[in-house]
């Protein structure tokens, strides 16, 4: 894999963790999440001047993505309100990584090699250990678990 792709993936992981931590730390998480999304939209909006609007065939996919993203954000906000960031965030990421592989195999026929599967196992195990160590000091209520599961599932979809 090209070093630039590894760098892009690591930068993406850092950005995602950063803005999720900012939401959890905020006194007004819903407003913080909304502001982040609006800022992101404002940053990419000028690209429409060069590319034009998406083709009509794209709009059902855009709407479906918007719906699943709305579910993810709502579930994340509820999970963050009920549980610690150190548990919620890694568990959501682990669930989504675990579900993407079988979903991709089912929907597209993609099959991963043993090296890729071993990498996924290491990622999920690392995230799980992080969540377990963070969760030892706090109780993690059932509603937080449910919202964390919904966020992980909708992230994968």
pLDDT tens digit sequence for 129-155: 776 775 565 677 889 889 999 999 999
- 148 domain-assigned: yes
3-state helix, strand, coil in the chain (%, to 5): 85, 0, 15
Q: What pLDDT is attached to residue 138?
A: 66
- 96 domain-assigned: yes
Which range of residues forms the domain containing residue 101? 85-157
CB of 112 closer than 8 Å to CB of 101 = yes
Question: What does the alpha-carbon distance between residue 96 and residue 81 come to, in Å, rounded to a whole number?
Answer: 20
- 58 domain-assigned: no
- 147 domain-assigned: yes
List the chain residues with pLDDT less than 70: 1, 131, 134-138
- 94 domain-assigned: yes
Structural domain count of the chain? 1
pTM listed for this prediction = 0.80
Question: What does the alpha-carbon distance between residue 32 and residue 52 come to, in Å, rounded to a whole number?
Answer: 29
């Amino acid at each position: 894999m090209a070093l630039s792709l590894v760098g892009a993936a690591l930068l993406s992981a850092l950005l995602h963790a950063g803005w999720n931590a900012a939401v959890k730390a905020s006194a007004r998480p819903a407003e913080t999440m909304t502001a982040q999304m609006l800022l992101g939209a404002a940053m990419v909006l000028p690209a429409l001047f060069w590319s034009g609007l998406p083709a009509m065939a794209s709009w059902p996919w855009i709407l479906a993505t918007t719906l699943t993203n709305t579910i993810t954000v709502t579930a994340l906000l509820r999970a963050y309100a009920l549980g610690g960031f150190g548990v919620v965030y890694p568990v959501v990421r682990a669930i989504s990584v675990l579900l993407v592989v079988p979903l991709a195999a089912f929907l597209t026929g993609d099959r991963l090699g043993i090296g890729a599967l071993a990498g996924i196992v290491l990622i999920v195990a690392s995230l799980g250990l992080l969540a377990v160590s963070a969760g030892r000091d706090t109780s993690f209520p059932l509603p937080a678990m449910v919202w964390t599961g919904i966020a992980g599932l909708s992230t994968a979809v």
